[in-house]
Amino acid sequence: MKRILFFSITLMTAISAFAQNYPYQDPSLSPEERANDLLGRLSVEQKILLMDYDSPEIPEFGIRKYNWWNEALHGSARNGLATVFPQSIGMAASWDDELLQQVFDVASTEQRIKFSIAREGEGVQRYHGLSVWTPNINIFRDPRWGRGQETYGEDPYLTTIMGRAVVNGLQGDGSQKYDKLHACLKHFAIHSGPEYERHIFDVEELSWRDLNETYLYAFERLVKTTDVKEIMCAYNAYEGKPCCGSDKLLIKILREQWGFDGMVVTDCWAVHDFFNEGCHNIFPNDPPSATANSVRSGADLECGDSFHTLGEALKAGKITETEIDRAVFRILKARFELGEMDPEEMVSWNSIPRDLLACDQHNDLALQMARETMTLLQNKGKVLPLSRNAKYAVVGPNAADSLVMWGNYNGIPRKTVTVLEGITAKVGAENVVYARGCEIAAASDDEGKYSESEGNYHDETLSMAEEQEASAMDMSIFDDVDAIIYVGGLSPMLEGEEMRVNYKGFKGGDRTSIELPETQRKYIAELAKTGKPIVFVHLSGSAVALAPEAEICDAILQGWYAGQQGGTAIADVLFGDYNPAGRLPVTFYASDADLPDFGDYDMPGHTYRYFQGKPLFPFGHGLSFSKFKYRRAKVKNDVLRIPVKNASRRDGDEIVQVYIRKADDVDGPLKSLRGFKRVHIKARKKVVVEIPLSAENIDLFNPQTGKMEAASGEYIIYYGGTSDISKLRKLRIRI
């Protein structure tokens, strides 16, 4: 009864307001015209209320309660039932931007359904709304960063292409009067850990080249080539100023140089860091000065509770109402663009059938994407595909775990298929022996429990037992099996955003070591004594150093956090029902010794672009059950034409990769990805893959001008199915 009464009162209020026929209520006017009209009718107190992420209703103008805080990292998130796709880093391994756009079209469909349901209930609370804080396009600079799983890897170009697909999938194709959702590029800028220092960390000195060629590359291109509507500023500082109070980043670069005219939202409680002891604390105990600084520097909407002091800042002359108006105009314009300010029946997106939420069709897409993320790192003696006519031991801490498939910032699927379930479905329960075998990591001095800053999980069953001695492990279960499938790696319970995790090798959601946890390393070494073939299914959101395991194991399949259909996709690859084609979006280093200091943001030594050593598995690496051969490529009309033949008896996908380097560039990257295409090639057939070499694709940093551009001169073009230069063909061109 209360819900019905609430809805009736809200509806009557809205109808009463719309009966006034003010210009802002006229849907035939542009969002800009409507926003300007409504802005002029609001009091300054009402304007400040609208700058809060949890905006209250203002009945006299028909403005309903709205919450801007929503997540859709790999599906509609943190609001119950939804289709859960693979984690972002896994989808990056697909190198399939067309499929990725389909995924986020589904994510936006399900989020629209959530919004409609909320509007019929008690209003739009957190995670119900139409503005989603996705994608995370920060560069995965260092594999120790726990939030790297949310990104599209370590390469700026790959991040750009995949990020563009996400934005377009979320916001719609522009053919409708209203936007489907609003995407948000985050975290602007120069942000990639450590998590435990993000409230104090200052990137004090950074070369202009690294800033533009690495950290701002994807942001700039997405701002200029999409209609992305939001940017989220980061927690960390840059050149002494917190990013959410940096006029250089938010005004000079973002708005003046790039022409961005959308909203800027602060990361959650980032403005607190401006005045809190132990954080940036540039305005000690002075919230009004902090909030005034953030708004004057370009922030429009706060995720937090500091902007309510703007009234005090206004009275003290720290900010003007004109500066407040600038922010509120953008907020109102966004709400009109989404149709959120208009009656539901006027917005076509609100008529999406409810039965599409977590439907079978979306489940099928989750399976397709999970399959495309599968990255076969090693396959000695072609041990894969496995035979169905055999008996297997399935062991390891991730084998029967459904939560490991979800990643972080996730929804809740109708059903999650674990690796154990996927394998059992292939060969039958009578041919599978299961044991956990070992713990995923060893607890530190305190009892190990996972808790995320948002408090998603507090699952006592995930607490780790004390480290087991390998000599005490029962190996008798392996006597009658033909092979061992070990399922381990990491877990979203261990790596993520600002987490409190008390396990050896982990700190604040990050890792202090990229080596496989010792509990698992010892157990795998013990498995080797059985003499049985070992297939390692490695689940993680980041690169792990697996040098000893690469020696011991016959095959290694990188399965990421593969979403609700992850177990099915993994089993499909293991037993040959799907030919893997995933490629690494990050470098898998051989050991901790390969890594620079975690706090070093200078690019030399980081990622495949600057790493001088020999990686265990390079960026762009991934094996197939097919064999592909490249022939000499030619350039014609600014298009690189690459002949590729499937020299095997099995159809398969190949991911053609193109890297470039300016021949006389001695200080820049060893090579930079500037083109790729996922292509399906029939057995024994040849295709010619075309990769454009336009100015956008070939742009590199020009030290003479300080700009990203295709400067005249000689370029070396590398092409093939990996970034490993020893396996790439090359040609030289002049422009």
443 domain residue, yes or no: yes
Catalytic residue (one of 96, 495, 497, 594): 495
**Band of pLDDT at residue 444, cut at 50, 70 and 90:** confident
The torsion angles phi and psi of 200, rounded to 5 degrees, stand at: -130, -15
Q: Are residues 347 and 466 in the same domain?
A: no
Q: Are residues 468 and 336 in the same domain?
A: no
For residue 567, what are its two tokens?
Answer: 């177990």
Q: pTM value?
A: 0.94
302 catalytic per annotation: no
For residue 540, what are its two tokens?
Answer: 């993680």
Q: What number of other Cβ atoms are within 10 A of residue 428's Cβ?
A: 11
Q: Are residues 10 and 104 in the same domain?
A: yes
Instruction: Report CA 136 to chain centroid distance, whole Å.
Output: 5
The answer to whether residue 474 scores a pLDDT higher than 50 is: yes
In tens, the pLDDT along 353-363 reads 999 999 999 99
Domain limits at 659?
Answer: 628-734
Before 187, cis peptide (omega within 30)?
A: yes
Q: Determine the Cα–Cα distance for residues 497 and 138; give it in Å rounded to an integer.
A: 14
The answer to whether residue 387 scores a pLDDT higher than 80 is: yes
End-to-end, the C-alpha distance of the chain in Å comes to 72
The answer to whether residue 5 scores a pLDDT higher than 60 is: no
520: domain CATH number is 3.40.50.1700
Q: Strand locations in 137-214, DSSP E?
A: 184-188, 202-203
| Domain count across the chain | 3
Q: Determine the Cα–Cα distance for residues 280 and 274; give it in Å rounded to an integer.
A: 5
| CB-based contact 301:327 (threshold 8 Å) | yes
211 domain residue, yes or no: yes
Q: Are residues 247 and 131 in the same domain?
A: yes
Instruction: Report CA 722 to chain centroid distance, whole Å.
Output: 22
Catalytic residue (one of 105, 220, 267, 372): 267
The residue out of 610, 644, 670 marking a domain boundary is 610
Q: Determine the Cα–Cα distance for residues 570 and 572; give it in Å rounded to an integer.
A: 5
361 domain residue, yes or no: no
At residue 471, the pLDDT reads 37
Which residue reads 């492990």 in tokens? 473
Q: Are residues 262 and 381 in the same domain?
A: no
Element (H, E) at 49: helix 44-50
640 domain residue, yes or no: yes
Q: Determine the Cα–Cα distance for residues 151 and 140; give it in Å rounded to an integer.
A: 7
Element (H, E) at 555: strand 555-558
At residue 163, the pLDDT reads 98
Determine the average pLDDT of the residues in 407-414.
Answer: 98
29: domain CATH number is 3.20.20.300
Q: Are residues 168 and 29 in the same domain?
A: yes
The answer to whether residue 576 scores a pLDDT higher than 60 is: yes
Q: Determine the Cα–Cα distance for residues 70 and 64; give it in Å rounded to an integer.
A: 17
At residue 446, the pLDDT reads 53
Determine the average pLDDT of the residues in 246-257.
Answer: 98
520 domain residue, yes or no: yes
554 domain residue, yes or no: yes
The answer to whether residue 167 scores a pLDDT higher than 50 is: yes
Q: Are residues 681 and 592 in the same domain?
A: no
The residue out of 556, 581, 610 marking a domain boundary is 610
The torsion angles phi and psi of 592, rounded to 5 degrees, stand at: -60, -30
Q: Are residues 391 and 464 in the same domain?
A: yes
Which residues does residue 730 pair with via DSSP β-bridges, in sequence order?
A: 718
In tens, the pLDDT along 671-700 reads 999 999 999 999 999 999 999 998 778 899
At residue 459, the pLDDT reads 34
Type of residue found at 491 = S
Type of residue found at 462 = L
Type of residue found at 55 = S
Alpha-helical runs (H) found in 344-429: 360-373, 419-427
Secondary structure of residue 388 in the 3-state scheme: coil
Q: Are residues 248 and 346 in the same domain?
A: yes
Q: Are residues 179 and 231 in the same domain?
A: yes
Among 525, 439, 558, 533, smallest CA distance to 483 is for 533
The residue out of 352, 385, 403 marking a domain boundary is 352
Element (H, E) at 552: helix 547-552
148 domain residue, yes or no: yes
User: Of the ranges 118-127, 156-165, 577-586, which one carries the lowest mean pLDDT score?
Assistant: 118-127
Q: Are residues 394 and 343 in the same domain?
A: no
31 domain residue, yes or no: yes
**Band of pLDDT at residue 8, cut at 50, 70 and 90:** very low
Q: What is the 3-state secondary structure (H, E, C) of 76-129?
A: CCCCCECCCCCCHHHHHCCCCHHHHHHHHHHHHHHHHHHHHHHHHCCCCCCCCC
**Band of pLDDT at residue 325, cut at 50, 70 and 90:** very high
Q: What integer best gives the mean pLDDT of the chain? A: 93
Q: Determine the Cα–Cα distance for residues 671 and 280; give it in Å rounded to an integer.
A: 36
Label residue 525 exposed, middle or buried (CB < 10 Å: 0-12, 13-18, 19+). middle
711: domain CATH number is 2.60.40.10
| CB-based contact 53:115 (threshold 8 Å) | no
| CB-based contact 72:107 (threshold 8 Å) | yes
Q: Are residues 209 and 68 in the same domain?
A: yes
Type of residue found at 714 = E
Among 676, 670, 667, 608, smallest CA distance to 642 is for 676
267 catalytic per annotation: yes
